[in-house]
Amino acid sequence: MQREEKQLEATLHAILNRVNDLKAAIQALITKLETEYETINWPTFLDNYAILSGHLTGLSKILQNELAPSLRSVVVLPLQLGCERDEELARLTEGRVPACTHDLVPDLLRTKPEPQAEQRLQQLNHKASTLSYDTAQKQVAQFTKVVSHVWEIISKGREDWEGESMRSAGIQPTHSIADTHALVTAVGTGKGLRPGMPPIGPGVGTPGMGPTRGPTPQMGPAAPTMPKAPSAIKTNIKAANQIHPYQR
């Protein structure tokens, strides 16, 4: 009995530590979402979510350990019920449970879902089991189409929002998503390109082929020449017949 009690105490202590770590990670994630919602990015959110997943995995390993006693054989019963505030209970639950009342105890000691939730769950399971394969595939395809449409709307809204934020900040955008897609399509598939170049006319000359026949184009008035700016670089040109210092 003493050995089982020690194992139970050690298991509860490990579970309590893991639950406290999980609670601290959840509080940190909620605080980050509430205070850094403008600067937080998706990789940072995934890193914090991975911490929660690690705590849950560790808690599952503790409960599945062979040395841990089966908690299903342990019964928890309230020693005293009352409507008066219990300061020790409020301290242990961080103010969430101020008193162990008759209405609160059934919810705390419940091992099954509420009757309304359990009935709803049974209805959903029965509906899922009676659904045919073709109907399920059609619903999956329809749901995928809806998700893709929502994703396109969100992406377009994000691009518009980024463009507006750049314009409000005084930064002119240096690229266009539509032009980039059109250029990639033109290079890859030739979409939007003309089938051929226009032929060279009789009055158009090519370099190296001599004068071409046709009327000579009228030249407009010559543009005034700009005066040449004086060079600011001084050059010192030495005479070619300067005696070489190593010449014998």
- 50 and 116 co-located in one domain: no
Tens digit of pLDDT at every position of the chain (248 positions): 677 788 888 888 888 899 989 989 998 888 888 888 888 888 888 888 899 999 999 888 888 876 666 777 777 777 778 888 888 888 888 788 888 888 888 877 777 778 888 899 999 888 888 888 888 889 899 999 999 999 999 988 888 887 777 666 665 667 778 888 888 888 888 787 776 555 444 444 444 444 444 444 455 444 455 555 555 545 555 555 555 555 55
Domain co-membership, 52 together with 7: yes
Q: Do 4 and 53 fall within a single domain? A: yes
Q: Which two tokens stand for residue 119?
A: 């009935």
pLDDT, position 204: 45
Token pair recorded at residue 2: 């003493």
**pLDDT of res. 198:** 53
Q: Which spans in 75-221 are helix H?
A: 87-92, 105-108, 115-129, 133-168, 177-189
Q: Is the residue at 194 inside a domain?
A: no
Q: Phi and psi for 184 in degrees, rounded to 5?
A: -65, -40
* pLDDT for res 211: 47
Look at residue 148 in the predicted model and tell me its pLDDT.
92
Q: Is residue 4 located within the same domain as residue 70?
A: yes
Domain-located, residue 217? no
Number of domains in the chain: 3
User: Is residue 153 domain-shared with residue 93, that is, in the same domain?
Assistant: no
Token pair recorded at residue 220: 């407009």
From 137, 153, 185, the end of a domain falls on 185
**pLDDT the model gives residue 39:** 85
pLDDT at 241: 52
User: Same domain for 82 and 67?
Assistant: no
**Residue 32 belongs to what domain range?**
1-74
Is residue 59 assigned to a domain? yes
Instruction: Supply the CATH number for residue 27's domain.
Output: 1.20.58.1710
Does residue 220 lie within any of the structural domains? no
Asked whether residue 180 falls in the same domain as residue 150, the answer is yes
pTM for this one? 0.40
Q: Are residues 43 and 96 in the same domain?
A: no
